[in-house]
């Protein structure tokens, strides 16, 4: 068999080819044998007779023995390429967003589900949670002293809730997003408290101050182009310093009592004022209606008097006497007309009280 590359197929082995192969093998082994033991001069001078090489017909190895290593390499390379290509599949969870970067440059934003990108090092993906609400405390959770608008000092602690609004801006525009939120939040809280008096922070206006701080903090982060959404700013404590907290509590207690008294007196005074207004309105309507009725009645009498003055005068006289005598307890009858007068004398007598007869008693006779 020949050892030259690219030489395939069977060939005949001749004695000359076998002798040449043995000579080459002997020359390779000779230096090792000389180092192992000395050889006499006689042995060196006497050449060994060549071994007879039988002339046989040798067949070369089948072609599959030379093709198999190449096929194995090709199969291994194909499997490696398949595994490398399959490494580009990735899954994005429902609360995540995938950012695909090609040689470090953002090329695509993927949503939840199974996705694919070119395998590393061509592309790689960064998974970012965008629905999670993060929380950071300003001042590392310790109490901070702040100056109010009326030049008083308060001790305050606050927490900030935030989440990712724009993933690409969040990852590439801000080096330390949490630190940026903490520093900007502390600045916003100090500014808003410095614009309000101390009583606003100690009363029910604390939530308004927190809302104003959230709006200011959102504007600051938007100016940074940070891709962060502020959900809430919550004050956990807003109190005067410990050295003067007792005096502030006394003032607050007095204000609360004043507020309670005001809330008790003002509603009653307003109710009384409303009642007086309603009564005056009713009286006004009654007086106006009565005046209009009297005016209409006078106009009617004027028209009647113009038509028949005597009859109208008689009617007015009778109406007036009726009104006057309506409340009189005695009646005077004019008997100047004599027995021919059409008026029958009448004197109303009080009715006697009823008397119930006793059982078995005889009815009494009336005395004439």
Q: What is the largest CA-CA distance in the chain?
A: 212
Question: pLDDT class for 11, splitting at 50, 70, 90?
Answer: low
What pLDDT is attached to residue 356? Answer: 54
Helix axes 206-224, 177-194, angle to 10 degrees: 140
Task: Tell me which range, 128-137, 176-185, 279-288, 326-335, is most confidently predicted by mean pLDDT.
Answer: 279-288
Which of 80-84, 103-107, 351-355 is least confident? 351-355
Compute the average pLDDT of residues 121-147: 79
Compute the average pLDDT of residues 106-115: 80
Is the four-CA dihedral 275, 279, 284, 285 of positive or negative sign? positive
Q: 146-152: long-range contacts (C-beta < 8 A, 24 or more apart)?
A: 146/189, 146/190, 146/193, 146/194, 147/193, 147/194, 148/193, 148/194, 148/196, 148/197, 148/198, 148/201, 149/193, 149/194, 149/195, 149/196, 149/197, 149/198, 150/197, 150/198, 152/197, 152/198, 152/240
Share of the chain above pLDDT 90, in %: 7
| Helices and strands in the chain: count of H runs, count of E runs | 9, 9
* DSSP conformation letters of 78-96: HHHHHHHHHTTEEEE-TTE
Query: 134: which residues sit within 8 A by CB, 6+ positions away?
Result: 161, 162, 163, 178
Query: 3: which residues sit within 8 A by CB, 6+ positions away?
Result: none
**Is residue 55 over pLDDT 50?**
no
Strand spans (E) along 165-297: 228-239
Compute the average pLDDT of residues 89-105: 81
**Is residue 351 over pLDDT 60?**
yes
**Is residue 18 over pLDDT 80?**
no
| Average pLDDT value for the chain | 75
Query: 311: which residues sit within 8 A by CB, 6+ positions away?
Result: 304
What pLDDT is attached to residue 32? Answer: 54
Structural contact between residues 51 and 23, judged by C-beta atoms closer than 8 angstroms: no
What pLDDT is attached to residue 358? Answer: 55
With a threshold of 0.85, does the pTM exceed it?
A: no
SS3 content of the chain, % helix, strand, coil (to 5): 50, 15, 35
Three-state DSSP state, 120:
coil
CATH superfamily, with its number, for domain 134-240:
Band 7 domain (3.30.479.30)
DSSP class of residue 184? H
Q: How many CB atoms lie within 10 A of CB 177?
A: 21
Question: pLDDT class for 352, splitting at 50, 70, 90?
Answer: low
**Is residue 318 over pLDDT 90?**
no
Q: Can you read off the two tokens belonging to residue 158?
A: 């606050």
Share of the chain above pLDDT 70, in %: 73
List residues bridging with 124 in a β-sheet: 101
Structural contact between residues 241 and 155, judged by C-beta atoms closer than 8 angstroms: yes
Task: Tell me which range, 6-20, 59-73, 141-155, is most confidently predicted by mean pLDDT.
Answer: 141-155
Task: Tell me which range, 30-44, 160-174, 329-343, is most confidently predicted by mean pLDDT.
Answer: 160-174
Compute the average pLDDT of residues 235-255: 79
Q: What is the dihedral of CA 260, 262, 265, 269, to 10 degrees?
A: -150
What pLDDT is attached to residue 343? Answer: 59
What pLDDT is attached to residue 44? Answer: 43
Q: Can you read off the two tokens belonging to residue 106?
A: 């953002």
């Amino acid at each position: 068999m020949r050892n030259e590359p690219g030489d395939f197929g069977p060939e005949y082995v001749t004695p000359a080819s076998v002798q040449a192969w043995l000579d080459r093998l002997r020359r390779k082994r000779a230096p090792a044998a000389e180092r192992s033991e000395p050889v006499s001069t006689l042995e060196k001078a006497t050449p060994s007779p060549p071994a007879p090489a039988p002339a046989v017909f040798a067949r070369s190895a089948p072609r599959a023995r030379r093709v198999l290593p190449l096929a194995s390499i090709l199969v291994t390379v194909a499997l490696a390429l398949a595994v490398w290509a399959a490494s580009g599949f990735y899954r994005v969870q429902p609360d995540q967003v995938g950012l695909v970067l090609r040689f470090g440059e953002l090329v695509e934003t993927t949503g939840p589900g199974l996705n694919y990108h070119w395998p590393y090092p061509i592309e790689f993906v960064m998974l970012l949670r965008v629905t999670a609400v993060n929380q950071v405390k300003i001042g590392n959770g310790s109490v901070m002293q702040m100056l109010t608008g009326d030049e008083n000092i308060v001790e305050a602690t606050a927490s900030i809730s935030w989440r990712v609004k724009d993933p690409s801006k969040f990852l590439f525009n801000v080096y330390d997003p949490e630190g940026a939120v903490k520093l900007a939040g502390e600045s916003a809280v100090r500014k808003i408290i410095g614009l309000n008096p101390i009583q606003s922070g100690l009363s029910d206006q604390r939530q308004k101050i927190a809302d104003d701080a959230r709006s200011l903090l959102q504007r600051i982060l938007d100016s940074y182009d940070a891709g962060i959404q502020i959900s809430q700013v919550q004050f956990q404590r807003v109190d005067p310093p410990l050295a003067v907290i007792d005096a502030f509590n006394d003032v607050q207690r007095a204000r609360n009592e004043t507020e309670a008294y005001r809330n008790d007196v003002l509603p009653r005074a307003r109710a009384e004022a409303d009642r007086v207004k309603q009564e005056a309105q009713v009286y006004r309507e009654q007086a106006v209606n009565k005046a209009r009725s009297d005016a209409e009645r006078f106009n009617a009498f004027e028209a009647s008097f113009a038509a028949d003055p005597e009859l109208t005068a008689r009617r007015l006289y009778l109406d007036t006497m009726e009104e006057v005598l309506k409340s009189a307890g005695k009646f005077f009858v004019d008997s100047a007309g004599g027995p021919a007068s059409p008026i029958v004398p009448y004197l109303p007598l009080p009715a006697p009280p009823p008397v119930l007869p006793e059982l078995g008693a005889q009815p009494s006779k009336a005395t004439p």
